[in-house]
């Protein structure tokens, strides 16, 4: 038995917000680069280009994920969100390679930074815009359990910290006159971006591989089942997985042999309701079995 999940097409408005922020920051950061010729600001601008690509992918996948279940996709389309976060993670890693290459070239052939003051002002404005959008996306991701918005917000927050590092590097160059500090900071930026990309990729792969729910959420399910065991009811074959915002829980419930089908069915209804109250957006599958029938225990292994 399943619980329907509300239409999530409204989440695409957050993707549009991210697209708008990416276009704005790309314009601002490339303007700052052309004014200063700072490789640190160039790396920052290139990452904003990746932000735009990620936001466009997020828009496409959120649109697909919002589609209702159909005959060919009876479990819905929510896994599409993992493709978005996976692609964004790959784009982040690609950007890191490009930034590192550019930084190494500038480290070998240093160039002075120009018009530092104006460049810092423009880049700071872009960073503040990214920060505002990242916080909005992170809040929405937590509220609506969206891995796509979570990946997008993490990327934007990484971009903000990257910008902070770049601004510090440029400030250090202007104070010391050491031009090599600019590409060194850019290299640190690349390393930071790699870490962010790997983390997003790991979570995306975990979702596509149908990993079990986190231990804390499984503990909540077990706690919800505890009261029933005191009445002589048992359960086994508890299995969980997550697909985007949807959680899936299945288990076999064993009841005394003398119970009627009606009584057993009402028990399953209560168990499913309790689990749905424990976790949001959860679909529960239950299977009724006789407590003293040896066949009931043949399905305990994961792969029967």
Q: pLDDT tens-digit profile of 152-193? A: 887 788 778 777 777 777 777 777 777 777 777 778 777 877
**Within this chain, do residues 196 and 58 fall inside the same structural domain, yes or no?**
yes
Task: List the one residue out of 122, 117, 112, 98 whose CA is nearest residue 25.
Answer: 122
Write the CATH number for 43: 1.20.1510.10
**Within this chain, do residues 230 and 156 fall inside the same structural domain, yes or no?**
no
- Whole domain around residue 230: which residue ranges? 215-297
**Within this chain, do residues 23 and 113 fall inside the same structural domain, yes or no?**
yes
In this predicted structure, what is the pLDDT of residue 43? 67
Q: Write down the mean pLDDT value for the chain.
A: 82
Cβ-count burial of 303 within 10 angstroms (0-12 exposed, 13-18 middle, 19+ buried)?
exposed
In this predicted structure, what is the pLDDT of residue 4? 41
> Of 160, 180, 208, which closes a domain?
208
> Of 208, 229, 254, which closes a domain?
208
In this predicted structure, what is the pLDDT of residue 113? 58
**Within this chain, do residues 108 and 248 fall inside the same structural domain, yes or no?**
no
**Within this chain, do residues 52 and 83 fall inside the same structural domain, yes or no?**
yes
Answer whether residue 242 is part of any domain: yes
In this predicted structure, what is the pLDDT of residue 127? 82
**Within this chain, do residues 225 and 93 fall inside the same structural domain, yes or no?**
no
Q: What does the DSSP assignment read for 83-149? A: HHHHHHHHHHHHHHHHHHHHHHHHHHS------HHHHHHHHHHHHHHHHHHHHHHHHHHHHHT-HHH
> Of 166, 186, 208, which closes a domain?
208
In this predicted structure, what is the pLDDT of residue 3? 37
Task: List the one residue out of 99, 107, 203 whose CA is nearest residue 148.
Answer: 203
Write the CATH number for 275: 3.30.70.1350
Average pLDDT over residues 106-124: 69
Task: Give the Cα separation of 61 and 208 in Å (integer).
Answer: 14
**Within this chain, do residues 161 and 243 fall inside the same structural domain, yes or no?**
no
Q: Pick the residue with more confidence: 181 or 128? A: 128
Answer whether residue 4 is part of any domain: no
Task: Give the Cα separation of 221 and 241 in Å (integer).
Answer: 13
The answer to whether 7 and 67 have CB atoms below 8 angstroms apart is no
Task: Give the Cα separation of 64 and 148 in Å (integer).
Answer: 12
Report pLDDT digits (tens) over 237-296. Answer: 999 998 877 889 999 999 998 999 999 999 999 999 999 999 988 999 999 999 888 888
Q: Is the pLDDT of residue 59 over 60?
A: yes
Structure tokens at 243: 């697909």
Query: What's the domain count of the chain?
Result: 2
Q: pTM higher than 0.85 for the full model?
A: no
Phi, psi of 290 (to 5 degrees): -85, 135
Task: List the one residue out of 11, 18, 151 whose CA is nearest residue 85.
Answer: 151
Task: List the one residue out of 239, 242, 241 whose CA is nearest residue 250.
Answer: 239
**Within this chain, do residues 227 and 113 fall inside the same structural domain, yes or no?**
no
**Within this chain, do residues 241 and 179 fall inside the same structural domain, yes or no?**
no
DSSP state of 246: E
In this predicted structure, what is the pLDDT of residue 89? 79
| % of the chain surpassing 90 pLDDT | 23
Answer whether residue 52 is part of any domain: yes
The answer to whether 304 and 239 have CB atoms below 8 angstroms apart is no
Confidence label for 224 from pLDDT (cuts 50, 70 and 90): very high
**Within this chain, do residues 191 and 265 fall inside the same structural domain, yes or no?**
no
Q: Which long-range contacts (CB under 8 A, 24 or more apart) does 65-74 make?
A: 65/8, 65/148, 65/244, 66/7, 66/8, 66/9, 66/11, 66/12, 68/7
Phi, psi of 109 (to 5 degrees): -130, 75
**Within this chain, do residues 223 and 194 fall inside the same structural domain, yes or no?**
no
Report pLDDT digits (tens) over 135-151. Answer: 999 999 888 878 888 88
């Amino acid at each position: 038995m399943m619980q329907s999940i509300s239409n999530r097409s409204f989440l695409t408005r957050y993707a549009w917000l991210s697209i708008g922020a990416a276009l704005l920051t790309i314009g601002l950061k490339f303007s700052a680069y052309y004014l200063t010729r700072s490789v640190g600001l160039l790396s920052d601008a290139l990452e904003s280009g990746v932000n735009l690509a990620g936001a466009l992918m997020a828009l496409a996948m959120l649109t697909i994920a919002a589609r209702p279940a159909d005959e060919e996709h009876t479990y819905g389309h929510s896994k599409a969100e993992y493709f978005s976060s996976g692609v964004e993670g790959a784009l982040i890693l690609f950007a890191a390679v490009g930034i590192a290459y550019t930084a190494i070239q500038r480290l070998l052939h240093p160039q002075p930074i120009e018009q530092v003051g104006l460049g810092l002002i423009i880049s700071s404005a872009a960073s503040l815009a990214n920060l505002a959008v990242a916080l909005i996306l992170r809040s929405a991701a937590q509220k609506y359990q969206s891995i796509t918005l979570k990946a997008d917000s993490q990327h934007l927050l990484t971009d903000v910290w990257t910008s902070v590092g770049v601004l510090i590097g440029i400030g250090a160059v202007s104070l010391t006159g050491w031009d090599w500090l600019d590409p060194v900071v850019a290299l640190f930026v690349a390393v930071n971006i790699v870490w962010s990309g790997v983390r997003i990729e790991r979570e995306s792969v975990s979702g596509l591989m149908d990993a079990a729910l986190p231990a804390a959420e499984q503990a909540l399910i077990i706690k919800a089942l505890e009261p029933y065991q005191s009445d002589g009811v048992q359960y086994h074959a508890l299995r969980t997985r997550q697909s985007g915002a949807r959680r899936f829980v299945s288990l076999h419930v064993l009841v005394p042999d003398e119970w009627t089908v009606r009584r057993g069915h009402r028990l399953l209804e209560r168990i499913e309701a309790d689990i749905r109250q424990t976790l949001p957006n959860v679909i529960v599958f239950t299977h009724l079995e006789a407590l003293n029938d040896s066949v009931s225990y043949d399905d305990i292994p994961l792969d029967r």
